[in-house]
Every structure is written in structure tokens, then in C-alpha cells.
């Protein structure tokens, strides 16, 4: 009985199918990159070995792997929540930026206080800032019918420019004592404590995993999550059963943005300790692949965020060892996205074929 | 008053045209693709790949070959998007997002392979030189604005009525619009839905590639990572603002071009607004323009974004 409970709660045929698809996507991505490496004159297998050696081969490397996993996981959750509602939040990079700005501001403006209170204030500030940056496209979509894909891209660029301005020579958040275009360092009490000697790993990773569980509960065990998914699956049916589409679009994008803001805040408070422009190296864009590979399920996203964490931290070592540009990872990312995008309809085609065989017709 | 004269000088209008050109080409690409029922947010990535190929071509074979290579690469990316969204019926936004991600990464990998010790930015390459229009350039004000421009600027301006003609006055255009509005009806009349969409999305890629090539080997003389900076998306916004018609999109593109040219000239004229804030002006304007559409009938093609399953 217990086995049956497990099967029906966490696993069903669709998710088994999705899991196989995800594994295939990763293999296919490495397969394509194998040939790209060959074509550009590298030896693929040692390069791949270096990728994994960089991610696991040393204490520091492993710490960096989990360190990159943290924002990727939070960002992936952000994308997933919106996706479940039928929305494409490709603006997580901007929401991460806004969250980082807010966290850095409260990090250095408040002097040393109780660390728990200080970190909480900064994290909440990050969540609110990211949430606002998600609320705006939600509101514009609900009220004016502006497609979120375009509005979030514009908001991304606006956020990058705001961050760049704040720490520029005349910027209000610029550290006047430093030539670097960066804010002052945050107070010691705002720093998230590190948990592994000789690495930069901090407890944000546990926070992220905890948030993943919360988002799973939200999506699959709470009324709000049900409504979000109902709007995503069939907006007309949702509307007919009394669920407001507009309200849930705004709310979902705000939650999605808040998760991005949280990721940005954790990056500033746990890794960089100060704000500078472009502090996020594209985590918000990787988040799309993380969420899709994780089958848009928070628990799956934990695993896929870890995989992308490996790719992120391993690629630094790979570049140092063999000179392969670490952007090779973004090609892997793109192929995974492409594969996850196309294999859904392949599933539909297979199902149609089966139907055709049994009934002789296709509906 | 002196400041105002500086801000609205003729050079601002001339550079408006130059800045608007890649956006115009992207929005024309958007019109082609979306009129056939395929959403194309991959214009950004197609432009970027076009820009990169153009620089590579220009480096090895000269500027005009580079231009050709850039256009063809854009077309190839369009073909990929068509394959994903028409044949495989993938989610069109996901497919295009993959193209956008790849277009940021792939050039960064290839740059150090092609040019040793270059990272994220290519060396300068031969560019397509500006030309003088014989008669027009001697007309006082108009000549100063449009008389001395890059050939691609003229090509883009000519393509606006051409694409408009293609879409609304030819048999092919009628068919493309038919599959974008009601693919099933078009199919029953014997129109090959898949072929029409392939044609439209590939042309869309060719146009985006041309826009990218303009950026890298005419507007600038090198490739740098992610140099399109959202122009593909702004082009898409312009297309929506122009209600999926090339002529309407042109007006929106000129508006955005003017916003960008204006902020550049305001900066050099010493307007006391931080440059970073000024640089965000075109993006803010895009948002405001889209909001301004509220309440008007801005209907997209009925089957836009929906894959068609042949029975």
C-alpha cells in the first residue's frame, strides 16, 4: 500500500515519460557538443572529463557546484511557477538583478545588528523588489494585454541599466572610497554564514531546497496552486469555474519574480557581499533550461539545478585546462531546451499513432 | 534654445534612420513569421547569429560576402525554428528561446577558435561603406537626412513596401495569411500549410540575419557578445504596435530609432541625466508604446502560435 501511495503521489506515467525524456535530452546535448568540440579541434572526452573533475574533483570545486546550484534552483522554481500558469517569465535575470540591488542596499545601509534580523530584512527586501519586477509584466498583461515575453525583456534591460547606474561614478550606491564600480560592502551581520571550510558555500543552498519543497506544496497541495495550474491548463474552463484569470496572472508573475529576487538577494548576501553591475552571470536565463529539464516540477528542478551547477562550476576548470570557452555550457543549455521543447509534441505524435492503430482514425 | 537646436539637429534624424534599420528588419521578419501563424521571439538570436557570420565572412572574404553569409545564417536559423515549430510542433516560445540562448553562447566559443586571443569580441573587419545618392543628397534638409546613408538602410526602407506588397497583394502572401488565420480552411482549399509556414519563417530569418549583418559590418565594424541588445524584441514590439503590418511597424521603428538617437545626442549635448538612465529610454518607450495600444483592436493572426496538425 505504501508503495502505491508513493506511486500515485509522486510518480505517474506522465512523469516517468518526462523523466526518460529529460535523461535523453542531456545525452543528446552532450552528443551534439561532442561533435562541436571535434569540429573545433578539441578532444571531446578529456574536455568532458575536465568538466566533471572541475565540479567534483576538489573540495573547492564541489563547493562552487553547490554554490551555483543555489540561484539556479531558485530561478528555476521561478520559471516553473509561471510556466504552470501558462506564462513565460524569461525576465528572471532582471528580477534577480532587482533583488540583488535591494538586498545590497539594506545590507550596507544598516550597521551591525542581530544577524538573523539583518539577513531576514535583506532577503525580504530582495523578495519584494523581485516581486515588483514580476508584478509589472503581470499587471501589464492583465490590464493592457501586453505579452509578458516582450515586457519582461524590456524590464530586464531596464534593470541592468538601473544596476549599472547605481554603482556608476555618480551613482547613489557607489562606494566613494573605492575605484571599482561597486557598492560598499554589506555589514558583517548581513552576510549569510558559510558552511564549508575553504569554500564559498553558504547555507543558502538549504534555503533553496526548502523553498523548492514549499513551492511543490504550493503548486500541488494548496488551493492557490490548483488555481494557478487550472489557469495554465485551460483558462476558459478556469474562468467558467470562477477562477479569475487576470488575478492569477498578476499573482503568479509576482511570485515568480519574487523567487528571482530571492535568488539575487542570496547571491549578494552569500557570495559577493556587495553590488556590482551584472553580478548574475546569466542565472536567470539558465533557469529556463533548469525548469524545463526538471519537468517543471519543483522536485525535479532540484536535480536539474544540481546538474546545471555542475556544468557552471566544471566549465571554469574546463576552460582553464583545455581553453574551451565556458560558454560551451550555454550550447548544452540551448540543446536541452530545444529537446525538452520538441519531445513533448513527439509524445503527442506517439499517442496519436497509438490511437490511430486502435481506432483506425485520428481525432 | 541652443540646447534644443542641438537636440533636434539634422544628424539626430539621420542617425534615427541608421538606428532604426536593424529594428525595421526585425519587425519585417516578425510580420512574415507571425502572419503565417508562427510566433518568432527568436528574431533576437537570429540577428545575433547573422551579425556573427557577417563578421566572419567579412574577415575572410570581404564585406559583401559577409553580408550574404549573415543573411543566409539568419535564414538557416529561421529554418531551424520552422522545423521545430512546424514539423515537430514544439512550443514556439521554447524553440525560439533555445535559439536565443545558443546565439549568445556559440559565437563566444567560435571567436577564440577563429581569432586567437580574442574573447567575446572580434577584431575589426571591413565594413559596407556608406553611399551618396546622387540627386537626393543635394536637396538641402532631406538630402542631409537620407542622401548619405548605408546601402542596407536603403534596402531596409525598400523592403517595407516590398514585404507589404508580398503579404497583401500577391498569391503567396494571401496563402501565408490564410494559414496564419485559419490553417484548416486553407488546408481544405489545397494550400500546403507546412510549406507556407516554412517559407514565411525562413524569410523571417533571412530578414533578421540582414538586420544582424547591418549591426556588425555596417553600423559597427566588429562583433561583440550579445551586441543586438534586445533589438529583435523591440522589433517584435514594433510589429505588434504596427498591428502586424510592415508599414505600421515602420512608424514604430522610427519612433524607437528616434528615442535612441535622441538619447545619444542628449548625452553628447551634456543634458544632466546619467547615461545609464538615458540608455534605458528606448526600452521604457517600448513598454509605454505597448501599453498605449490598450483598447484598440490589436488583433494578432487568429492561428498565431498554434501548431497545425495535418489530419
Q: State the DSSP string of B79-119.
A: HHHHIIIIIS---HHHHHHHHHHHHHHHHHHHHHHHSTT--
Contact criterion met (CB < 8 Å) for A40 and B101:
no
Which residues of chain B lie closer than 8 angstroms to A87, CB-CB?
Answer: none
Higher pLDDT, B2 or B44: B44
Contact criterion met (CB < 8 Å) for A345 and B230:
no
Q: Is residue B226 less than 8 Å (CB to CB) from chain A?
A: no
Q: Is residue B287 less than 8 Å (CB to CB) from chain A?
A: yes
Which candidate in B280, B295, B296 is best for mutational testing of the A interface (most A CBs within 10 A)? B280
- Average pLDDT of the segment spanning B214-222: 95
Q: Work out the angle at residue A301's Cα, subtended by the Cα atoms of residues A300 and A307, and round it to the nearest 5 degrees.
A: 100
Pairing of strands B148-149, B131-132: antiparallel
**What count of Cα atoms within 13 Å lies in the side-chain half-sphere of residue A124?**
6
Cell of residue A232, nine digits: 495554465
Phi, psi of A202 (to 5 degrees): -125, 175
B36 to each of B39, B41, B85, B209, how far by Cα in Å?
9, 14, 12, 19
pLDDT at B218: 95
Q: Is the pLDDT of residue B277 over 50?
A: yes
> B43-61 and B63-82 are packed helices; what angle lies between their axes, rounded to 10 degrees?
150
B178 to each of A110, A350, B175, B181, B310, how far by Cα in Å?
62, 29, 5, 5, 15
> Helix (H, G, I), strand (E, B), or coil: what is residue B121?
strand
Sorted by sequence, the CB contacts under 8 Å of residue B195 that are 6+ apart come out as none
Lowest mean pLDDT among B162-176, B185-199, B240-254: B240-254
- Average pLDDT of the segment spanning B287-309: 77
Cell of residue A96, nine digits: 534577480
Which candidate in B41, B85, B97 is best for mutational testing of the A interface (most A CBs within 10 A)? B97
Which residues of chain B lie closer than 8 angstroms to A285, CB-CB?
Answer: 101, 104
Say what percent of chain B tops pLDDT 90: 60
Cell of residue A98, nine digits: 532587482
Tell me B215's DSSP state: I
Nearest-Cα residue of chain B relative to residue A292: B94
Q: Which of B236, B274, B283 sits opposite A168 (nearest CB)?
A: B274
pLDDT at A360: 41
Long-range contacts formed by A57-61: CB under 8 A, 24+ apart: A57/A317, A59/A196, A59/A197, A59/A198, A59/A199, A60/A198, A60/A199, A61/A313, A61/A314, A61/A317
Local confidence pLDDT in tens for the 363 residues of chain A = 455 555 555 556 667 777 888 899 999 999 999 998 998 888 999 999 999 999 999 999 999 999 999 999 999 999 999 999 999 999 999 999 999 999 999 999 999 999 999 999 999 999 999 999 999 999 999 998 888 998 999 999 999 999 999 999 889 999 988 888 999 999 999 999 999 888 899 999 999 999 999 999 999 999 999 999 999 999 999 999 999 999 999 999 999 999 999 999 999 999 999 999 989 998 999 999 999 999 899 999 999 999 999 999 999 999 999 888 888 888 899 999 888 887 655 555 555 555 554 444 433
d(CA B94, CA B76): 18
Contact criterion met (CB < 8 Å) for A154 and B284:
yes
Q: Is residue B272 less than 8 Å (CB to CB) from chain A?
A: no
Burial-class residue A14 by CB neighbours within 10 Å (0-12, 13-18, 19+). Answer: exposed
State the first-to-last Cα distance of chain B, in angstroms, to the nearest integer.
67
Contact criterion met (CB < 8 Å) for A330 and B102:
yes
| A17-343: CATH, from 3.30.160, 1.10.10, 1.10.3470, 2.60.40 | 1.10.3470
Q: Which of B90, B113, B234 sits opposite A341 (nearest CB)?
A: B90
State the first-to-last Cα distance of chain A, in angstroms, to the nearest integer.
37
Contact criterion met (CB < 8 Å) for B98 and A335:
yes
Which candidate in A345, A347, A361, A362 is best for mutational testing of the B interface (most B CBs within 10 A)? A345
Contact criterion met (CB < 8 Å) for A325 and B106:
no
Q: Is residue B64 less than 8 Å (CB to CB) from chain A?
A: no
Tally of CB atoms within 10 A around B221: 17
- Average pLDDT of the segment spanning B164-192: 95
Contact criterion met (CB < 8 Å) for A335 and B229:
no
Nearest-Cα residue of chain B relative to residue A277: B276
Higher pLDDT, B172 or A325: B172
Alpha carbon of A327: minimum distance to chain B alpha carbons (Å): 5
B277 to each of A131, A164, B3, B283, how far by Cα in Å?
22, 9, 19, 11
Cell of residue B279, nine digits: 540608455
Which candidate in A91, A147, A181, A323 is best for mutational testing of the B interface (most B CBs within 10 A)? A147
Nearest-Cα residue of chain A relative to residue B238: A150
Backbone angle region of B63, left / alpha / beta, with phi > 0 → left and psi within -120 to 50 → alpha: alpha
Q: What is the pLDDT of residues B72-93, one digit of tens each?
A: 999 999 999 999 999 888 889 8
Q: Is residue B104 less than 8 Å (CB to CB) from chain A?
A: yes
Q: Is residue B143 less than 8 Å (CB to CB) from chain A?
A: no
**Residue B163's pLDDT band (boundaries 50, 70, 90)?**
very high
Cell of residue A137, nine digits: 509584466
Of residues B16, B219, B229, B226, the one with CA closest to residue B127: B219
ipTM: 0.87
Where are chain A's structural domains?
A: 17-343
pLDDT at A272: 96
Q: Are A10 and A4 in contact (CB under 8 A)?
A: no
Amino acid at each position: 500500500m505504501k508503495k502505491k501511495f508513493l506511486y500515485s503521489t509522486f510518480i505517474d506515467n506522465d512523469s516517468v515519460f518526462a523523466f526518460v525524456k529529460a535523461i535523453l535530452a542531456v545525452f543528446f546535448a552532450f552528443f551534439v557538443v561532442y561533435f562541436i568540440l571535434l569540429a573545433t579541434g578539441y578532444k571531446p572526452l578529456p574536455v568532458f572529463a575536465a568538466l566533471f573533475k572541475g565540479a567534483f574533483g576538489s573540495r573547492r570545486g564541489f563547493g562552487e557546484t553547490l554554490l551555483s546550484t543555489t540561484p539556479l534552483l531558485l530561478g528555476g522554481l521561478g520559471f516553473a511557477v509561471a510556466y504552470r500558469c501558462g506564462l513565460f517569465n524569461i525576465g528572471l535575470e532582471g528580477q534577480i538583478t532587482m533583488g540583488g540591488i535591494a538586498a545590497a542596499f539594506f545590507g550596507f545601509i544598516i550597521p551591525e545588528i542581530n544577524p538573523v534580523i539583518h539577513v531576514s530584512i535583506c532577503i525580504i527586501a530582495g523578495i519584494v523588489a523581485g516581486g515588483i519586477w514580476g508584478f509589472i509584466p503581470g499587471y501589464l498583461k492583465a490590464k493592457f494585454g501586453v505579452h509578458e515575453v516582450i515586457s519582461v525583456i524590456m524590464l530586464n534591460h531596464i534593470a541592468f541599466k538601473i544596476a549599472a547606474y547605481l554603482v556608476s561614478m555618480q551613482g547613489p550606491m557607489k562606494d566613494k572610497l573605492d575605484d571599482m564600480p561597486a557598492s560598499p560592502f554589506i555589514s558583517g551581520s548581513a552576510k549569510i554564514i558559510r558552511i564549508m571550510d575553504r569554500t564559498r558555500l553558504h547555507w543558502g543552498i538549504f534555503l533553496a531546497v526548502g523553498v523548492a519543497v514549499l513551492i511543490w506544496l504550493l503548486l500541488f497541495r494548496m488551493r492557490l496552486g490548483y488555481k494557478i495550474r487550472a489557469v495554465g491548463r485551460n483558462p476558459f474552463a478556469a474562468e467558467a469555474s470562477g477562477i479569475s484569470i487576470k488575478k492569477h496572472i498578476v499573482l503568479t508573475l509576482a511570485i515568480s519574480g519574487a523567487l528571482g529576487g530571492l535568488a539575487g538577494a542570496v547571491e549578494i548576501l552569500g557570495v559577493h557581499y556587495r553590488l556590482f553591475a551584472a553580478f548574475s552571470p546569466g542565472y536567470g536565463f539558465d533557469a529556463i533550461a533548469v525548469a524545463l529539464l526538471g519537468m517543471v516540477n519543483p522536485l525535479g528542478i532540484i536535480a536539474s539545478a544540481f546538474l546545471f551547477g555542475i556544468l557552471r562550476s566544471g566549465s571554469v576548470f574546463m576552460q582553464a585546462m583545455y581553453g574551451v570557452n565556458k560558454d560551451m555550457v550555454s550550447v548544452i543549455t540551448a540543446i536541452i531546451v530545444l529537446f525538452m521543447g520538441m519531445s513533448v509534441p513527439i509524445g503527442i505524435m506517439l499517442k496519436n499513432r497509438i490511437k490511430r492503430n486502435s481506432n483506425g482514425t485520428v481525432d | 534654445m541652443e540646447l534644443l537646436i542641438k537636440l533636434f539637429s539634422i544628424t539626430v534624424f539621420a542617425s534615427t534612420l541608421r538606428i532604426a534599420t536593424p529594428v525595421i528588419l526585425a519587425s519585417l521578419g516578425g510580420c512574415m513569421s507571425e502572419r503565417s501563424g508562427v510566433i518568432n521571439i527568436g528574431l533576437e538570436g537570429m540577428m545575433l547569429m547573422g551579425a556573427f557570420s557577417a563578421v566572419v565572412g567579412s574577415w575572410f572574404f570581404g564585406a559583401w560576402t559577409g553580408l550574404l553569409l549573415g543573411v543566409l545564417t539568419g535564414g538557416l536559423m529561421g529554418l531551424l525554428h520552422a522545423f521545430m515549430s512546424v514539423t515537430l510542433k514544439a512550443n514556439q516560445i521554447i524553440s525560439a528561446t533555445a535559439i536565443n540562448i545558443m546565439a549568445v553562447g556559440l559565437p563566444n566559443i567560435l571567436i577564440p577558435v577563429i581569432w586567437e586571443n580574442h574573447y567575446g569580441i572580434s577584431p575589426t573587419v571591413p565594413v559596407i561603406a556608406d553611399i551618396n545618392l546622387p540627386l537626393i543628397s543635394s536637396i538641402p534638409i532631406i538630402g542631409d537626412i537620407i542622401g548619405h546613408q548605408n546601402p542596407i538602410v536603403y534596402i531596409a526602407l525598400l523592403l517595407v513596401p516590398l514585404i507589404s506588397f508580398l503579404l497583401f497583394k500577391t498569391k503567396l502572401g494571401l496563402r501565408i495569411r490564410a494559414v496564419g488565420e485559419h490553417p484548416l480552411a486553407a488546408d481544405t482549399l489545397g494550400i500546403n500549410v507546412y510549406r507556407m509556414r516554412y517559407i514565411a519563417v525562413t524569410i523571417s530569418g533571412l530578414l533578421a540575419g540582414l538586420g544582424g549583418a547591418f549591426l556588425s559590418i555596417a553600423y559597427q565594424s566588429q562583433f561583440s557578445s550579445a551586441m543586438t541588445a534586445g533589438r529583435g524584441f523591440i522589433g517584435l514590439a514594433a510589429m505588434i504596435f504596427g498591428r502586424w503590418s510592415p508599414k505600421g511597424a515602420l512608424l514604430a521603428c522610427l519612433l524607437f530609432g528616434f528615442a535612441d538617437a535622441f538619447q545619444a545626442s542628449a548625452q553628447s549635448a551634456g543634458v544632466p541625466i546619467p547615461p545609464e538612465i538615458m540608455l534605458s529610454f528606448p526600452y521604457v518607450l517600448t513598454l509605454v508604446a505597448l501599453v498605449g495600444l490598450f483598447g484598440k483592436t490589436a488583433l494578432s493572426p487568429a492561428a498565431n502560435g498554434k501548431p497545425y496538425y495535418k489530419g
